[in-house]
Amino acid sequence: MINVTKTFLPPQKEYEAVLSRAWNTGWMTNRGVLVQELEAKLQTYLGTTNIIAMTNGTLPLQIAIKALGLKGEIVTTPFSYVATTSSIVWEGCTPVFVDVHSEYLTIDETKIEAAITPRTSAILATHVFGNPCDIEAIESIAKKHNLKVIYDAAHCFGVTYKGVSIFNYGDVSTCSFHATKLFHTGEGGALFCKPNYFETMYSHHNFGHDGPENFHSLGVNAKMSEPQAAMGLAVFPYMNTILEERKKVVDAYNNVFINSGLQLMKIREYTSWNYSYYPVIFKDENQLLKVKQALESVSIFPRRYFYPSLNTLPYIEKHTMEVSESISSRVLCLPLYVGLEQKYLKQIVDIIKESLI
């Protein structure tokens, strides 16, 4: 069975060796030495500061909205994973959708200002499949209207824009370390923020503690555990291999699909991409369903991702987003992971080519 992704697992003995350090002390959570070591390694590797490792990739979004004191409306994208929108609603704010670029798949910055009202407090945009938004335009709009900027950078581990980590843009950026991501801690995530927000974000992720006996703010439990950090530390030495292997799969797909008539995502200029996903966009939904059925008939499982367009969620006031709804109905992410054998890669490509005839 070939799934859209497969978790990269380091040798079990290597994971156990890292975990034994926590095991020997009996310190399994509450920001032990492994979490602190992982944060330090990631900070150096990514070229970032002010990182807070967390237990999943959704809580950083919710904490960012809470800690920034956002109210009213938040301008956002309908083409993302559901957590982007659900976090806004969960924190008592109203998502206001802006349609997306048909090529980059990120929020269309030329349509943002028209969506801003006196109730707007922030822009929450997604770097889709690791492909950056138009950061300069968004920052300019936010400054003009005195808005906060949060980037859902769940797919962006290792991505740089103009030589700078993508996590260094915006007031806050978030990342997912879910098992399906190219860097993972089994389940996990991280928040990156400007220095002046760090103490507030940190407090919010740790119950609002001010030392062991005092509290100075509202908080929740978003702390990463030591077993999670151990997985991240065991995966970390393989990052170059992971990126190289994923690039080989992407290059193989590109060799076939660049001139196939299928639409591929356009990577924004000045971006060092991380080969996080391989989306293909078909001419219509019927063509997509035909390909999907053909692949699944031989136990190959791509994913309709992102689907559906988030403006169609049942708890959202309905507004048409023509580009996002169209892309969502036609996009399919193909299998992409370390260890995807050439014979299966060829099978995937051949089935798609045959289905398009």
Kindly report, residue by residue over 67-100, the tens digit of the pLDDT.
999 999 999 999 999 999 999 999 999 999 999 9
Residues 6+ apart with CB under 8 A from 10: 231, 234, 235, 237, 238
Structural Rg of the chain based on CA atoms? 21
Helix boundaries (H) for 58-134: 59-67, 82-90, 112-115
| pLDDT for the residue 70 | 98
Contact 108, 100 (CB under 8 A): yes
Residue numbers in the chain where pLDDT is lower than 70: 211
Selection from 93, 188, 103, 104 nearest residue 150 by Cα:
93
| pLDDT for the residue 272 | 97
The distance from CA 53 to its chain's CA centroid, rounded to whole angstroms, is: 15
> Cα separations (Å) of 88 from 9, 85, 173, 302?
33, 5, 15, 29
Q: Is 209 helix (H, G, I), strand (E, B) or coil?
A: strand
- Alpha-carbon span 97 to 75, nearest angstrom: 6
The residue count of the chain comes to 357
Angle between helices 33-46 and 226-235 in degrees, nearest 10: 40
* β pairing state of 94-97 and 209-210: unpaired
What amino acid occupies position 61? L
- Alpha-carbon span 307 to 332, nearest angstrom: 9
Instruction: State the distance between the two ends of the chain, measured CA to CA, in whole angstroms.
Output: 25
Selection from 183, 155, 152 nearest residue 169 by Cα:
152
The distance from CA 121 to its chain's CA centroid, rounded to whole angstroms, is: 22
What torsion do the CA atoms of 30, 34, 37, 38 make, to the nearest 10 degrees?
A: -90
| pLDDT for the residue 213 | 72
**Cα atoms in the Cβ-side hemisphere of radius 13 Å centred on 57:** 25
